[in-house]
Amino acid sequence: MSTPLNTTIYNEIEARLANVTTTNGYSSEFKRIERGTMKPFKSHDLVAVNFWAASVSSDNEKYTRDRRTIQVFFEIYDKTRDTPFMDICDSLAADLVTGLNRTILAPAVSDVESPELGELVDKFIFNGYDYQIGEGQSPWCGILARFTVDFLTTSNNMITI
């Protein structure tokens, strides 16, 4: 069976997240990357990323084309330190957005942007994020970021653009 187009998009996202490392110039290193997991992360997993699609919509356009939109959420967690949690969260958001806008072959912060996931989609839109914080014996902080993936495909086609 052929790979669904949405899965191809998620594979590209996951590969780009794997390149968020201090070696590539980011302030964080994503140690664990999961796609749609329900299991909570442990302290030794941090910095950890979990992403999932919340919805997929499809509107018919002219000339047998469909406009597809996928809402994708990213939760990223890290340990709190002596730094204010909002500063850590803003740094995580910067690493996320920058990393998703770099290619797999040119992943460094200083490399040229590739905002359409290597022209796999028409638009990859950052919609913002919310701060999250947890306390207790292992305090943590994080973000819940929202993106919109927008692309055209042939009508009623789930495999290719």
Q: Report if residue 161 sits inside a domain.
A: no
Q: Report if residue 159 sits inside a domain.
A: no
Q: Report if residue 160 sits inside a domain.
A: no
Q: CB 59: neighbour CB atoms within 10 A?
A: 9
Is the Cα torsion angle 126, 130, 131, 137 positive or negative in sign?
A: negative
Query: 125 falls in which pLDDT band (50, 70, 90)?
Result: very high
Do residues 153 and 161 lie in contact, with contact meaning Cβ atoms separated by under 8 Å? yes
- Structure-model confidence comparison of residues 40 and 151, the more confident one: 151
DSSP SS3 for 82:
coil
Place of tokens 């990393």: 99
Domain with 42 in it: what CATH number?
3.30.70.1700
Cα 43 off chain centre by: 21
Q: Report if residue 21 sits inside a domain.
A: yes
**Selection from 49, 89, 43, 42 nearest residue 72 by Cα:** 49
Q: Report if residue 15 sits inside a domain.
A: yes
Q: Report if residue 85 sits inside a domain.
A: yes
Q: Report if residue 113 sits inside a domain.
A: yes
Residue 97's domain comprises 5-154
pLDDT digit string (tens) for 7-36?
999 999 999 999 999 999 999 999 999 999
Report how many domains make up the chain.
1
Q: Answer yes or no: pTM beyond 0.85.
A: yes
Query: 83 falls in which pLDDT band (50, 70, 90)?
Result: confident
Q: Report if residue 29 sits inside a domain.
A: yes
